[in-house]
Amino acid sequence: MITAETLLVERRGSVGLVTINRPAVLNALNTRALAELDRVMDDLGGAAEVGAVVVTGAGEKAFVAGADIQEITGLDGPGAKVYSERGQATFDRIARLGKPVVAAINGFALGGGCELAMACTLRVAAEHARLGLPEIRLGTIPGFGGTQRLPRLVGRARAIELILTGRLVGAAEALSIGLVHKVVPAAALLDEALELAGRLAAAPALALRFAIEAVEDGADLSLDEGCRLEASLFGLAAATEDMREGMRAFLEKRTPSFKGR
């Protein structure tokens, strides 16, 4: 059990469950929450017994309703830049954790909350969830990677419309544009996310890490460069015990027993 003031952290078998726990402010992310999220993700990333992570928000109203406006209003230009860079670094750690991270979006995922969800590997949303980047309404722009991740998920045309208007989308629309992967009733959300994470945690850990790296790092490369990266990672996977076990199990028509080696 990892202790944190703004988070609840627990193990559910091979899955780490992280709950943003500031329900009085709809789980808004302040500096402490970001720092604790960064530390907790670092710990979970290095824990051999954890194969996947689920991130959600406390209560029924919000996943994360955004960054803490009270903190942001006190920042000058240079301070805001540092604040943005810290948030980006934390979310980049999540995106590149090397283990699948599933966002269980249990309500509003706005601004920094939407950016947190987008940094996760997969996103499952409750039917009542609403997502968006409404920063333009506050006279600013997304600062935790939203202007970069949203176009990569939903395409440039859709992303620029959502960012410039600050329009929020419901769960059904989020599913239709590729912002989330699945929509379920609220009562089933956490179980659905944990079940998905559990299935991923049972997969070969090194192959998962290589696949995530190929997609995340390849997104910034040309097609040729990305394919070269893929070939290199495919070569690394071929040197693992898990790949040999997977191939043998297929030929022997049995369930593989992966060891993460």
Identified catalytic residue from 36, 115, 192, 230: 115
241 is catalytic: no
Domain residue ranges in the chain = 7-201, 205-251
Per-residue confidence at 71, pLDDT binned at 50, 70, 90?
Answer: confident
Q: Tell me: domain 205-251, CATH 1.10.12, correct?
A: yes
Rounded CA separation 229/224 (Å): 9
Rounded CA separation 31/6 (Å): 10
- Mean pLDDT score of the chain, rounded to an integer? 92
Per-residue confidence at 58, pLDDT binned at 50, 70, 90?
Answer: very high
Q: What is the pLDDT of residues 85-115, one digit of tens each?
A: 999 999 999 999 999 999 999 999 999 999 9
Query: One-letter amino acid identity for 256?
Result: P
Rounded CA separation 239/226 (Å): 20
Residues 96 and 122 sit within 8 Å (Cβ to Cβ): no
**Domain spanning 7-201, CATH class:** alpha beta
The neighbour count for residue 25, using CB atoms within 10 Å, is: 16
Q: For the residues of 106-172, what is the DSSP string, one character each?
A: -SEEETHHHHHHHHSSEEEEETT-EEE-GGGGGTS---SSHHHHHHHHH-HHHHHHHHHH---EEHH
Identified catalytic residue from 36, 49, 71, 135: 135
Rounded CA separation 70/248 (Å): 57
Q: What is the pLDDT of residues 165-198, one digit of tens each?
A: 999 999 999 999 999 999 999 999 999 999 999 9
Q: Residues near 247 by Cβ (< 8 Å), separated by ≥ 6? A: none
36 is catalytic: no
Rounded CA separation 149/118 (Å): 7
Residue 3 has pLDDT above 70, yes or no: no
Rounded CA separation 150/219 (Å): 13
Q: What is the pLDDT at residue 2?
A: 66
